Chain A
Amino acid sequence: MTQGIYKILSNRCVAKNTFEMVLEGDTSSLRLPGQFINILLDGCFLRRPISVCDYDSFHITIIYKVVGKGTALLSKLNEGTSLDILCGLGNGFDTAKSGFSPLLIGGGAGIPPMYALAKQLLIEKKKPIAILGFNTADEIFYREKFEALGMHVLLCTADGSIGIKGFVTDAIRNTSYLDYSFYYACGPEAMLKAIYHTCSTDGQMSFEERMGCGFGACMGCSCKTKYGNKRICKDGPVLNKEEILW
């Protein structure tokens, strides 16, 4: 983990209530897709943990949905604003487990970390397939970005306005040609639970919890696993399927 000052290069609306922010600063503590950053905001006591969507040596891209006070404040910040950020938090996804053709399953605000993961898997010469789930067509973001990576993308909406009608698990069940070696998932807990019961391969899931610190000090975000108590922020947010207690 590092603490640093990051400059906002852009902050734009990419879908309904959904924003993409590009930050410039030290990214040396980011090691893996699936890690997150914790942002200090004027007017909020606690930092706001947001998963990293993409990064390179000098830039971090995050995509966040406006759901409360913190994300509303974040959405109003202008280019050039400096932010105090804790970077390189959490364990991230383990691409060594993927096999040749892993499924990347993202639901809504859980989609962003799948983008950096897809890029990494493609660098490793693997053939990932993305399943992106949204509630409605106006919530869709990054579809073209995933497709531009040259990977197969299945899109589904809960209301059927675009793509397969239903949830990501409907897409998995109803797509006969899907042949996958592993899965990575991030999204609402109900979605993760449905995937857990739908997909027979091994997998990794990224969880969300209200956090105090984001780096393992306060024990605010603990959960029970088969291998004892884990802190979502430090020992997670990514847990292996086999250790999840459901």
Chain B
Amino acid sequence: MVDTKVCLSGLTLDNPIIPASGTFGYGYEFADLYDINILGSLSFKGTTKNPRFGNLTPRIAETPCGMLNSVGLQNPGIEKVISEELPKLAACFHKPVVANISGFSAEEYAYCCKLIDQQPQVGIIEVNISCPNVHNGGMSFGTTPESAAAITKTVKSVTTKPVYMKLSPNVADIASIAKACEESGADGISLINTLMGMRIDIKRKKPILANITGGLSGNAIFPIALRMVWQVYEAVSIPIIGMGGVSSAEDVIEMMLAGATAVQVGAANLIHPFICKDIIENLPSVMQKLGISNLKQIIGGAHQ
């Protein structure tokens, strides 16, 4: 028997597999397909203070081995998420969830995190700092150590739950941003969010996405995500949730060897709705084949 359990800030997960925010809704679409209680946890759709429709469509484009999305954080707003979505999620998922929170100002982050702090089903708050700061010319909070630190402090001051800062990969030095978050009290780091990209329809001679640019995800970004997890692992001592192009049990092992304690699966859920189940079922045999008896022991293993 192999041990797939991992530990995130005092929370023990049966396995490291967590569907990534924005690719799993609030869980119930997938609960119709399989018992989602086999998951380690679940990061629900990014939530903001106010309801958002998001960007205009088209907001999906295909890329080699991946996809672009410019959904733009469509969600019903924190109040409705708490009153309508979380009870529905609780009905089909009985483990602590990861609450993914976004904001366009420090005040919005604080507002959402204060409310989410009171939700017993939330085990971890994952703070997406890839959004543009409306008070700073639209510059993303995640692009400088100072602004990432400021949001970390803001969120930490309104909650006692573990706070994981979800970093944008669209930066020059990811390690310095992770370090700034750790020094400001972050309990962990989630990375990576999508990479900014675009496609042009050569027949129409116009960008495919109405928003022009979108976030790249899928297998194409796995090596970049892995490299950034590696760099952040060298820079901080808090746990890392690694994500970006993960689509197999082997990818999970690779992410963990680079330094991830848990692993999120994103775009793959959209193409293969049973992918998380498949990975969880395959993980023990892949571990056995590789001579791994306890998954916890391989975290950061490639650094030694």
Contacts and interface: CB of A to CB of B under 8 A. Distances in A.
Interface of A: 1, 3, 40, 44-47, 69, 86, 209-213, 215-224, 229, 234
Interface stretch (B60-68, B131-139, B166-174): B60-68
B285 to A, nearest CB: 22
B257 to A, nearest CB: 25
Contacts of B58: 209-210
A209 B30 contact: no
A3 B274 contact: yes
Contacts of B269: 213, 217
Given A217-B24, A218-B60, A219-B45, 15 more contacts: A1-B33, A40-B271, A45-B67, A45-B218, A46-B62, A86-B273, A212-B270, A213-B270, A217-B23, A218-B69, A218-B270, A220-B57, A222-B53, A222-B71, A229-B53
Contacts of A211: 60
Nearest to B218: A45
B54 interface: yes
17 contacts: A1-B32, A1-B273, A3-B273, A3-B274, A69-B62, A210-B57, A210-B60, A210-B61, A212-B67, A212-B69, A215-B273, A217-B30, A217-B269, A219-B25, A219-B71, A222-B53, A223-B57
B40 interface: no
Nearest to B220: A45
Contacts of B30: 217
A221 B57 contact: yes
B62 A45 contact: yes
A106 to B, nearest CB: 23
B95 interface: no
A171 B53 CA distance: 37
A215 B61 CA distance: 17
B22 interface: yes
Nearest to A221: B57
Contacts of A210: 57-61, 208
A48 to B, nearest CB: 10
A86 B74 CA distance: 24
A45 B267 CA distance: 10
Interface residues of B, number: 34
Interface string B61-91: 1111111010100100000000000000000
Contacts of A222: 53-54, 57, 71, 74
A229 B274 contact: no
A209 B208 CA distance: 12
A46 B218 CA distance: 10
B33 A221 contact: no
Interface string B239-274: 000000000000000000000000000010111011
Nearest to A84: B272
A216 B25 contact: yes
Chain A CB within 10 Å, residue with most, of B22, B29, B66: B29
Contacts of B25: 216-217, 219
Contact of A212 (B24, B60, B65, B208): B60
A218 B271 contact: no
Contacts of A69: 62
Given A45-B67, A212-B60, A224-B53, A218 B273 contact: no
Nearest to A47: B271
B274 A217 contact: no
Contacts of B219: 45
A46 B219 CA distance: 12
A217 B270 contact: yes
A45 B273 contact: no
A44 B62 contact: yes
Q: Closest 3 A-B residue pairs measured CB to CB?
A: A213-B270, A220-B60, A210-B58
Contacts of B62: 44-46, 69
B66 A45 contact: yes
B65 to A, nearest CB: 6
Contacts of B270: 46, 212-213, 217-218
Contacts of B60: 46, 210-212, 218, 220-221
A71 to B, nearest CB: 13
